Amino acid sequence: MCIKVSRNVSITSWNVNGLFRKLSGDRICKLDDENFSNIMTSDIVCLSETHASSKDILFYNGYKCFTNCRQSKTNRVWGGLATFIKREILQGVKLIDKTMSDMMWFKLDKNYFGFEKNLFICSMYIPPSNSSYTMRTNCDKQIFEKLEQDITKFSLEGNIALIGDLNAHINVSESDYITNEIDDSLDDFLPINYIADAVLKSRSTEISQNTNSYGKQLIELCISAQLRILNGRTLGDSKGKVTFFNHNGTSIDDYCICSSGFLPSIINFSINKFDPTVSDHCPITVNIMSQIKRQPPENLKTPLKCIKWSNEYENTFKLNLLKTDFQPIISEIESLAEIPVQNNLSSVEEKINENVSNISSLLYNAAFLGPKRSTFRNNKSKFRKVKKTLL
């Protein structure tokens, strides 16, 4: 029997402007930065522009990491995606497509999360249109073409959510939906089954920016696929806050976009605090309503035995501790210091956890697995008295 647990599912996206930095000649990973830990609390964390190669091991405790690294013929690495998913919800999330290096599609199972339909999330990054990489590869055209194809395909199976740094500038006057007052001239443009929005809050933006080529394509995609931009119209970001800061100015580059039918499931959307020591982008977070189905833990099926502590156990515990050989564990812990320091060395953390578990087992065994006390009841009815015969 499954247990339904009502909880929000939080999804964060952040262009980290490189996951590694040089410090005194050493290559240090930002995942170890204290400022980074404030963001690594969401159920799903989508990082873009990681500048990580396939040789880099990205690890964060409690999460499973899925990477999509951009191929490079030189030692310099650009772009790259990394998505961290909490292990406690891993059962309901599946990576379904990462054929393009700047896109990763995940499926959130409707049965596990209690959604009406499956949710298909695309963590993505669109390089600036004027970057040398874009002009050399025409990757922006490829991204928009694949995005349109994927949305068409996955919309047949569920709802859509796009999140990431899209480098799209959209003027506040641009509308991503069509009202019920549809012009007849749009009949040839819209799908036959298109349902116009009756009421939808217009977007707001904290700054004024002109719509660029990406913005135009994004608006057209939203209208045709019935997707809605959360920035500037959702609880938590009603003003349409800035997401990018640099010496040239500020802009709104990072977006979360979802199917119009999925809007009632959105609790809030927020632009998180800007931290210039980590990135020139702000993290963005969306919270979604869900009812996660979980199997009850195995150990709850059998009642736990209650052990009554006594002075006798205390003495036994002390005696058993004196007899316990801790030297193998001490040697194992000392050997950890000899391992070379590397970025996100997951094996070190696994060994530490293993040693902590072993120490806990030794202490438990010393306390409760000592000589058992036998309890006798003086029940005269169960014993027969034997009369001694006189010689």
Indicate the range of 32-46, 221-235, 248-262 predicted with least confidence: 32-46
Token pair in block for residue 68: 């999509």
| pLDDT confidence band for 260 (50 / 70 / 90) | very high
Asked if 126 contacts 143 with a C-beta cutoff of 8 angstroms, the reply is: yes
Handedness of CA 119, 125, 128, 133 (dihedral sign): negative
Alpha helices per DSSP H over the chain: 34-37, 110-113, 132-137, 139-154, 213-225, 311-323, 327-336, 346-368
| pLDDT confidence band for 47 (50 / 70 / 90) | very high
How many Cβ atoms sit within 10 Å of the Cβ of residue 235?
Answer: 12
pLDDT at 154 over 80: yes
* Catalytic annotation present for 165: yes
* Catalytic annotation present for 125: yes
Give pLDDT, residue 332: 79
Report the percentage of the chain scoring pLDDT > 90: 57
Residue 280 is labelled as binding a ligand: yes
Q: Tell me the CATH number of domain 3-294, given options 3.40.50.720, 3.60.10.10, 1.20.1540.10, 3.30.70.360.
A: 3.60.10.10
The Cα 292–Cα 22 span in angstroms is 41
Closest CA to 254 of 233, 234, 230: 230
Q: Does 203 or 189 have the greater pLDDT score?
A: 203
Residue 118 is labelled as binding a ligand: no
Residue 248 is labelled as binding a ligand: no
Q: Any idea where the domains of the chain sit in the sequence?
A: 3-294, 305-368
* Catalytic annotation present for 169: no
Give pLDDT, residue 316: 81
Residue 104 CA: distances (Å) to CA of 4, 107, 117: 29, 10, 20
Give pLDDT, residue 190: 57
Residue 49 is labelled as binding a ligand: yes
Candidates 125, 150, 254, 255; catalytic one: 125
Residue 97 is labelled as binding a ligand: no
pLDDT at 300 over 60: no
Candidates 56, 165, 176, 237; catalytic one: 165
Is 214 exposed, middle or buried, given 0-12, 13-18 or 19+ CB atoms closer than 10 A? buried
Residue 15 is labelled as binding a ligand: yes
| pLDDT confidence band for 98 (50 / 70 / 90) | very high
pLDDT 10s digits, 352-385:
878 888 888 888 777 766 554 444 444 444 444 4
